[in-house]
Amino acid sequence: MNQPRPTPADIEKAIRNIPDFPKPGIQFKDITPVLADARLFSGSIDLLTEQFKPGDVDAVVGIDARGFIFAAAAAVKLQAGLVPVRKKGKLPYRTHEQEYNLEYGTATVAVHVDALEPGSRVLLIDDLLATGGTAAAAAALVRRLEARILQISFLIELKFLAGRQKLKDYPVRSLVVY
């Protein structure tokens, strides 16, 4: 206890690069060492939520699947609800869906039609911003529910992929930038 709060540089040191996973040419950013370290995990949640206090946010929306880990902890810290944006076909009730482009082909994310109250204040979280397609699709679903995005937060941003350009309508924050 009473250890100093980790900095983004401390978190960066723990992120493991896995070359050619899940396919050749991709440098996968493995966050599991951050999760496994109690100080780094809770510090990353502190940093992801530092602009807000309990009462500022109605719901934290997390993106399937690693986004859920950070979004769930952030929701508890901010005393907000947790709303999952999932890959198509996973949510049991009626959904809105949003398709987006991948390098090859398309993917679809979904949210329950009653997941957010109109006008509710949302913090959207994912582990990593790459080309921005996933987060932009999740943001479109939040807006479809007429909720308001206060911020989109990522643990990691791959700046060279320019994902922020797809998120120009929102304040975007990332802790570790490559």
Instruction: Please list the active-site residues.
Output: 66, 103
CB of 62 to ligand AMP, least distance (A): 10
Residue (115 or 156) nearer to ligand AMP, CB: 156
149 forms beta bridges with: 122
Q: Which two tokens stand for residue 106?
A: 């398309």
> C-alpha distances in angstroms, 53 versus 7, 14, 74?
19, 27, 11
Give contact residues for ligand AMP (rule: CB under 6 A).
26-29, 63, 66, 126-135, 163
CB of 93 to ligand AMP, least distance (A): 23
Nearest 5°: the CA angle 113, 173, 73 is: 60
Residue (59 or 167) nearer to ligand AMP, CB: 167
CB of 28 to ligand AMP, least distance (A): 4
Rg (CA), the chain: 16
CB of 100 to ligand AMP, least distance (A): 7
Residue (56 or 89) nearer to ligand AMP, CB: 89
| 4 dihedral zone (left: phi>0; alpha: psi -120 to 50; beta) | beta
* Furthest CA-CA distance within the chain: 49
Coil, helix or strand for 124? strand
List of residues 6+ apart from 72 with CB closer than 8 A = 60, 62, 82
Q: Are 64 and 84 in contact (CB under 8 A)?
A: yes
